[in-house]
Amino acid sequence: MPPQPTPVPNASRAVWLKNLHRWHWISAALSLTGMLLFAITGFTLNHATQIEAKPSVVKRTATLPAPLQTVLRTEGERLSGKRAPLPAALADWARTSFDINVAGMEAEWEEDEAYVPMARPGGDAWLRIAADGAAEYEKTDRGMVSWLNDLHKGRNTGAVWSWFIDIFAIACMVFAITGFLIMKLHAANRPSTWPVIGFGMLVPILLALLFTH
């Protein structure tokens, strides 16, 4: 009878460890920049009152031509109390007069005016056009730190950044889970593994329960 092959010890463990290391470094590479960004902005958000920037405000005014005033009044009567984009003629005039692109943006309509909010990360802007032809545009810029903080919060950042946050969150979960499993496989040779993990879990829980009232 031919001799039976001797099973390779820990072969399954080695395969698991190899795959875990692969996914751990892939997820780390994908999320590295995002983790740095969110760590830095987590600090700046936590110290928002100490890290304040003076807002820069730009205000402009213009007068809507008479033919477009008629367009505005007609649309105001039709859309009063609703939200809808400005007509193309009004959007083109706003681009020429204020160097802004409001095409497709929803305006808040009243009988005597249209108001276009243009919230954005790190600042704010709005356009108001009244039926009497008075038009105002204001833009507020709160600086780079505020811009980064709004990226952290996903505030007024649009759909693409929202997708990035979702993908980044998944990459971070893969990074954390594979890291935990790698530590589990090494725990037998590293007695401090579980106490350190337990400490890392316990501290934020205790701080939240005891000091966040």
pLDDT in tens, the chain (213 residues): 555 555 555 678 788 889 999 999 999 999 999 999 999 999 999 998 888 788 999 999 999 999 999 999 999 999 999 999 999 999 999 999 999 999 999 999 999 999 999 999 999 999 999 999 999 999 999 999 999 999 999 999 999 999 999 999 999 999 999 999 999 988 888 989 999 999 999 999 999 999 987
Residue 133: closest CA among 89, 208, 68, 205: 68
Q: Is 22 in contact with 180 (CB distance < 8 Å)?
A: no
Residue recorded with tokens 């007069």:
97
Instruction: Note the pLDDT tens digit of each residue in 112-136.
Output: 999 999 999 999 999 999 999 999 9
pLDDT at 1: 52
Residue 9's φ and ψ, nearest 5 degrees, are: -65, 140
Distances (CA, A) of 3 to 7, 10, 99, 157: 12, 21, 84, 67
Decide the pairing of beta strands 113-117 and 106-110: antiparallel
In total, the chain counts a number of residues equal to: 213
Computed over every residue of the chain, the mean pLDDT equals: 92
Distance, CA of 177 to CA of 137 (rounded, Å): 49
Contacts of 182 (CB under 8 A, 6+ apart): 17, 20, 21, 24
Q: Is 147 in contact with 123 (CB distance < 8 Å)?
A: yes
Q: Is 134 in contact with 45 (CB distance < 8 Å)?
A: no
Q: Is 48 in contact with 149 (CB distance < 8 Å)?
A: yes
Model-level pTM greater than 0.85?
no
Torsion sign over Cα 153, 158, 162, 165: negative
Q: Is 27 in contact with 168 (CB distance < 8 Å)?
A: no
pLDDT at 206: 94
